[in-house]
Each structure stands twice: as C-alpha cells, then as structure tokens.
Amino acid sequence: MFIGREREVAALDRLYESNKFEFAVIYGRRRVGKTALINHFIDNKEAIYFMGVESNEKQNLENFSKSIIEYSSGIEAETSFLSFQAALEYVFKLAEKKRLILAIDEYPYVARSSKSLASTLQLLIDKYKDTSQLMLILCGSSMSYMEDEVLAYKSPLYGRRTAQMKIQPFSFEETCRCFKNFSDEDKALAYGIVGGTPQYLLQMDDRLSIEDNIKNTYLNPISFLYEEPTNLLKQEVREPSIYTAIITAIAVGASRMSDISNKVGEDSNICANYLKSLINLGIVKKETPYGEKTSRKSIYSIEDNMFRFWYRFVPNNNSVIMRGAADIVYRRIEPQLSEYMGAVFEEICKQYLWKLLLDGNSPVEFSELGRWWGNDPIEKKQTEIDIMGDQDKSTALFGECKWINENVDVKVLEKLKKRSRLFRYENVHLFLFAKKGFTQGCIEEAGKMGNVSLVTYDQIYEYLKDRGITAF
C-alpha cells in the first residue's frame, strides 16, 4: 500500500500533464521511499524504468538497453545499443510521437560508470527539448553526488531541470497512517524508535507490542535494523569508523564541537567536515539558540530517530544481544524510554504547531520554530525553552513539552511564564504540552492567564485525525 507523498505525486502529475519535455530530479537518502514514489507515479503510464547498478559501463548499458527494448517490443532481448548516446537518442525519438516517461533510478551509479553520460544528456536535451514529449526523471540516493553533479552550477545538466524534489522521511502525521493496530501512544513510540523512514517503518509489526517490536528489530542479531546504521554509513561515506565515533559521542551526551572533538580524539576542524556530511545525510542536526546567529553556542544532536535509538541502546548492550538475551536488554531500555521520548515529543509538538499555522488556527503567525538556551540573569543559571517562535518584534509563542506519566502541574506553567519574560515581547502565547494531562491547579491558572493553550498528546493526535486522514 502506497502512503503519503501527496505533494510529490501532485507535482509529478502536473509535469506529466504538460505534454512537453520535462526533467525532474529526485533525490534523498537511502530507504526513504524514492523508488516507491517513482513506481507509484509511473503505474499505468507509458514508461521506461531503469535502475543503475554499481558496476561498469558495459553492464549498465546492457541493462538499460534491455529496459528500452522490453518497453518498445514487449520481449526480452539480448541485443544492446552501442552506446548510451544511441540508447538515449532512441528514447528521445520515441517520445516525439507520444508522452513517455524515462526514469533512471540510482543515476549516480550509471554516471560514475560512464563519465560522459551527463554531457550526453545535456546534448540530447538541448537537441530535442522543443520537439520531444519525454518526461525524464533522474533519481539518486547519493545526495552529495546529486547536488554537486546534477544540480550544481558546474554540472553539464545545470539549468535543464524543470523540477527537483528532495524526499524527506515521513512526518509523525504520515507515520501514523502506516499503523492501524497500534494504540495512539504506541504510534508515537514507533515514530520515536524508527523515525519516519518508510523502509524502517516496514520493520515494525503493529499486531505486536512495542516491547516485542524492539526485541525483534534492535535486539535481534539477524534483523534488518540490527546492522542498518553500520551498513548505511559504509554505503554513504569513505571512513565509516570516524563517522561512527562522532555519532557515538553525540549519542552519549557530547553536544558541543569541543566535546565531540575530545571524545573522538580528532581536531575540531576535521570533526566539522565529518559533521557537515552527517548533517547533509539527515543523520545529525546543528542548532543554535532561537534568534541567535552565532555559532559559538551551536550544539549537535542526532536527528534521525532510528540512529538515535540504535546508538543510545545497542552498542552498550551488544555482547548481551549477541547471546540472545533480548529480555535482559529490554529491561535495561524500558526505564529510559520515557526520558528518550522527551525529544521525540518536542518534535511532534513542533509539527502540530506548524499544522495549526498552516490551517490558520495558530494564535501566533511565526515563520520559524526552534529551541532556546542561555543564561537567566535573574536566577544566574543556564536555562532553556523547548519551543519558541516569533511573529514580529512584539509577538511570540513559547512552549514546554512533558512526556511523563503524570499530570503536569502549575509549577511547570509558572516556570514557562518566567522564562518567556527573559524576552521583551509585548504579546506572548504559552503552549504547555503533556503526554497525559494537567492538574486542576494548572488548568485554573491557565484559564486566569488567558494566553495559555494546554494541549495533551491525545488532542494532538485527534487534531491530525480530524484533518481527514483515512488510515487513522
């Protein structure tokens, strides 16, 4: 069953319906669902689909030729075009008479094997773009290659594309559509454990408990996810051991560049380059306090939930896991799950606020959301705010998120109110988010203040559900 990607499919449909030459570039990290998107889009359309392989030019040309001949004749043939130029020119000419899609998946593999491919495509696009009805799709998992060799100014293909799509993991809202049998709370846990990457979501069985899913995926040496972070890094980077060391350092609490550098035992400048690659891959994110541009306060955290969960719980327990003692490891994990989910809940709350804004229901029309941390001059200590966003110099929202198994009391609200006064906004709206609910004292105080929204996880979920998502 194909889920989500409505905007991407709609964009591809618009390109297709133009009936003129179109060139779409689709890229994103591995397992994110690019191939599924393409296959869904070309279904029941005149299309040639070809997936490149990590081999030489001869092998890729033979495979490409088979895809073309099978499309045009309906039979598998052993014959091959003499060159990529001849093969591509044949496709461009086919598309002079009818609408035709050519999708080249894992394009970087093909282009690396045939150094002249990009220039050949440039030549043929320029020759046929005014007469051909071809819709060309180039897709790749190597994001650095797609950005540098396809989209960048130096690329022969620069300026020829008519659309580009960077495919991101599913949001929490989209993730929920994948699971019909999980409880509402378990859907949040599933999102926290594997994130929004479709291939990882497929590893979760919503007929089982979250406990059993964790045991079957992360705590099982033969499972797909058990070695996934290691395998993914081997595919994406040249020195996976250093990348692993950096991710491990962040996972155990090192967040600033100096701390990461000390943990890894490498110079800060070297670590900075590796971190940049991890950020581009969507594994790590860099944050500065909201509203500040200086990098001196920048911190790093693991953005991808699958990587975050894996590095938090698997390496330290690897010896026990290898002995088949999943029950023992889970007993170690379970007491930490609530604390682990804190950052996940913050992300879910941010996504909820963005939905409010896009639906026209937000009390503050912010442009960005982020965390803030810094010095409290009154209490003379470091403090932080989970969520912050401003509309202008006078209007802002502040949010606090609590993923705890008890009602949030008035002290949390008072603390958020106090922290909001560290800034000089005249109009302030406070959001207090809770997993379970709020004490009567908190509810009464929020009512008196009049500028407070108390939101439970159930309300977030129901809001997403009420937006017409059929799979909920």
Q: How many Cα atoms within 13 Å fall on the side-chain side of residue 85?
A: 8
- The CA distances from residue 159 to 27, 97, 165, 325, in Å, are 17, 25, 15, 56
Residues 22 and 123 in one domain: yes
Residues facing 399 on adjacent strands: 387, 431
Tokens 């106090």, residue located: 418
Tokens 């393409």, residue located: 38
Domain that holds residue 448: 358-465
| 263: CATH | 1.10.10.10
Residues 294 and 413 in one domain: no
Please check the confidence at residue 163 and state whether its pLDDT lies above 70.
yes
* Local structure of residue 408 (DSSP, 8 states): B
Residue 150 lies inside a defined structural domain of this protein: yes
Which tokens is 133 given?
């009805």
Please check the confidence at residue 470 and state whether its pLDDT lies above 60.
no
Residues 295 and 439 in one domain: no
Residue pair 371/384 in contact by the 8 Å Cβ criterion: yes
Q: What is the pTM of this model?
A: 0.91
Residues 326 and 187 in one domain: yes
| 147: CATH | 3.40.50.300
Residue 471 lies inside a defined structural domain of this protein: no
Residue 31 lies inside a defined structural domain of this protein: yes
User: Which of 278, 312, 341 is at the close of a domain?
Assistant: 341
Residues 305 and 237 in one domain: yes
Residue 71 lies inside a defined structural domain of this protein: yes
Per-residue confidence (pLDDT) for residue 73, from 0 to 100: 84
Q: How many CB atoms lie within 10 A of CB 9?
A: 14
Q: Tell me: the pLDDT tens digits for 349-385?
A: 999 999 999 999 999 999 999 999 998 888 888 999 9
Residue 456 lies inside a defined structural domain of this protein: yes
Residues 88 and 131 in one domain: yes
Residue pair 373/292 in contact by the 8 Å Cβ criterion: no
Residues 455 and 431 in one domain: yes
pLDDT band at 466 (very low <50, low <70, confident <90, very high): low
User: Which of 119, 135, 166 is at the close of a domain?
Assistant: 166
Residues 316 and 296 in one domain: yes
Mean pLDDT within 52-69:
95
Residues 257 and 224 in one domain: yes
pLDDT band at 74 (very low <50, low <70, confident <90, very high): confident
Helix/strand/coil for 425:
coil
Residue 350 lies inside a defined structural domain of this protein: no
| 397: CATH | 3.40.1350.10
Residues 32 and 106 in one domain: yes
Please check the confidence at residue 208 and state whether its pLDDT lies above 80.
yes
Question: CB under 8 Å to 276, separation ≥6 — which residues?
Answer: none
Residue 82 lies inside a defined structural domain of this protein: yes
User: Which of 135, 166, 197 is at the close of a domain?
Assistant: 166
Q: What total number of domains does the chain contain? A: 3
Residues 240 and 321 in one domain: yes
Please check the confidence at residue 39 and state whether its pLDDT lies above 80.
yes
Residue 200 lies inside a defined structural domain of this protein: yes
Residues 130 and 201 in one domain: no
